[in-house]
Amino acid sequence: MIRFDNSYARLPERMFNRQTAAPVGAPKLIAVNRDLAARLGIDADWLAGAGLDVLAGNVVPDGAAPLAQAYAGHQFGHWNPGLGDGRALLLGEVLAPDGARFDLQLKGSGPTPYSRRGDGRAWLGPVLREYIVSEAMAAMGLPTTRALAAVETGETVWRETGLPGAVLTRVAASHIRVGTFQLFAAMGDTEALAALTDHVIARHYPQAQGPEGLLRAVMQAQAALIARWMGVGFIHGVMNTDNMAVSGETIDYGPCAFMDGYHPMTVFSSIDAQGRYAYGNQPRIALWNLAQFATALLPLLDDREAAVARLTAILEGFPDIYEAERRAVFAAKLGLVAPTPDDDGLIDGLLDLMQAGQSDFTQTFAALASDSAEGHILDRAAFTDWRARWSARGPDMELMARSNPQIIPRNHQIEAVITAAVAGDYAPFHAMNAALSRPFAPLDAATRPYAAAPTEGERVARTFCGT
Ligand code: AMP
Ligand code: MG
């Protein structure tokens, strides 16, 4: 029923903990992602029926080799040697009909040796949030983990108060993180580190040569990913090294959020008091994380001093690679074909005008394509001047239409969906997902409500990990 081939489970046993999920009392289906099931070659009708027990963690499907992955990481810059899947379980790897390999993971599936003081569970809010946001990211064409299904557990999860428990089934190219490498490097387990490196090269970057080639490939993927985040106003919120997937996919949607009004220092996460992971800091933090990745690869290289110099030289290439990726993303948003560094002035000029009045990021770019953006900009005179320069460059309106989403999953709307779901009404959740599956279509009756920016009273200032 599910075609498994579990390559991670064939790595040295000390890299993970084999175990099953903790069963739940009364699983109830919230959603099955039919398009994604088809992509994976899994029968969606089966998933929604007999497969429910698999999605809830009550039954181990044939061919699975469930395990919790071990990892470490830097959290807000501080080293934590003992992380790992504390509330997640890798069921195994699915081979899709086209041969592509995907991790199938349950999130909220009960305690593991890596749970520390946590209960291993998730409540409905973060499960729905990750479902909505990860699927919206995929629909906008960003590299991301996906949501295959969500189920209620029928059990209460205790946070500040009792809340409905839920399990998300997550699909990813892999769940291997910078922190996975860091763990084995820190343990001095060079054999596991080498096995992990070979595994990741074979799985994600078959053209890469050795640790240095891997660093280059991961750096390129991360630069491209962060540029894409910036282009949709996405703020991850917890860019710890354990939340950075080496595959280059967005992973671990916690207190993430999309900006409404544009300002580079926008922060939402309640645990990010210093703004370390603010919108505008994300490229710098990606490089910081890549430096930790490089450090973790060092034990694999001879002649430490020479190796440090070579890896440092690779890392020094990040700003240029990122700037090129960022230019490609923002030039497309302005309809600029074949961009060059000369276009940076146009890009930054608009962003400066938007910052002055905290223009709505999504609405302003969407309005540009219909040449109706001036209402979003505070300084009209400066905008008129900017628009003249932009028009002279000959923007391609079709390129803009497919590069600027009309709608994004806005925080205040996600919160409303969660509130309704907790009260038993999933209609808003399904409506929001359906709308966000076609972000680039001209607005219509079904999508228009999601284009609205929050009113002062609706604005969500803080998001919580709320695990
Ligand atoms: P995060 O930064 O939210 O991805 O989580 C950091 C670490 O905390 C990971 O090792 C998680 O598995 C663990 N964790 C978070 N929430 C829980 C929970 N409710 N129970 C057990 N472990 C958790
Ligand atoms: Mg995490």
pLDDT, tens digit (0-9, with 9 covering 90-100), for 161-215 = 999 999 999 999 999 999 999 999 999 999 999 999 999 999 999 999 999 999 9
Average pLDDT across the chain, whole number: 97
- Residue 402 has a pLDDT of 97
- CB-ligand 1 contact for 86 (6 Å cutoff): yes
Per-residue pLDDT band at 149 (split at 50, 70, 90):
very high
**CA 116 – ligand 1 centroid, Å:** 8
Active-site choice (85, 103, 242, 272): 242
Rounded average pLDDT over 98-114: 98
Question: Over the stretch 226-253, which tens digit does the pLDDT of each residue have?
Answer: 999 999 999 999 999 999 999 999 999 9
Domain count of the chain? 1
Q: Find where tokens 């992973």 sit.
A: 251
Look at residue 264 and tell me if it is in a domain.
Answer: no
- CB-ligand 1 contact for 283 (6 Å cutoff): no
Check whether 45 has a pLDDT greater than 90: yes
Look at residue 253 and tell me if it is in a domain.
Answer: no
Look at residue 92 and tell me if it is in a domain.
Answer: yes
- CB-ligand 1 contact for 252 (6 Å cutoff): yes
**CA 246 – ligand 2 centroid, Å:** 13
Per-residue pLDDT band at 343 (split at 50, 70, 90):
very high
Reply yes or no on whether 103 is catalytic: no
Question: Over the stretch 306-328, which tens digit does the pLDDT of each residue have?
Answer: 999 999 999 999 999 999 999 99
- Residue 371 has a pLDDT of 84
Identify the residue whose C-alpha is closest to ligand 1 atom 4: 252
Paired tokens of 335: 């309809």
Per-residue pLDDT band at 467 (split at 50, 70, 90):
low
Q: For the CA atoms of 217, 221, 226, 228, what is the dihedral angle to 10 degrees? A: 150
Look at residue 283 and tell me if it is in a domain.
Answer: no
Check whether 385 has a pLDDT greater than 90: yes
Look at residue 190 and tell me if it is in a domain.
Answer: no
Cβ atoms of 143 and 222 within 8 Å: the answer is: no
CA distance 353 to 356: 5
Rounded average pLDDT over 88-108: 98
Per-residue pLDDT band at 427 (split at 50, 70, 90):
very high
∠ CA(374), CA(379), CA(382), 5° rounding? Answer: 85
Look at residue 184 and tell me if it is in a domain.
Answer: no
Look at residue 157 and tell me if it is in a domain.
Answer: yes
Cβ atoms of 197 and 173 within 8 Å: the answer is: no
Is the whole-model pTM more than 0.95? yes
- Residue 81 has a pLDDT of 97
- Residue 238 has a pLDDT of 97
- Residue 225 has a pLDDT of 99
Look at residue 255 and tell me if it is in a domain.
Answer: no
**CA 168 – ligand 1 centroid, Å:** 14
Paired tokens of 23: 């069963």
Q: Which helix (H) or strand (E) is 88 found in, with range?
A: strand 88-95
Check whether 357 has a pLDDT greater than 70: yes
Check whether 145 has a pLDDT greater than 70: yes
Of residues 362, 289, 368, the one with CA closest to residue 322: 289
Query: Please, what's the b/e burial string for 170-180 (b: 16 or more CB within 10 A of its CB; e: otherwise)?
Result: bbbbbbbbbbb
User: Whole domain around residue 106: which residue ranges?
Assistant: 8-172
Q: Which numbered atom of ligand 1 lies nearest the CA of 83? A: 10
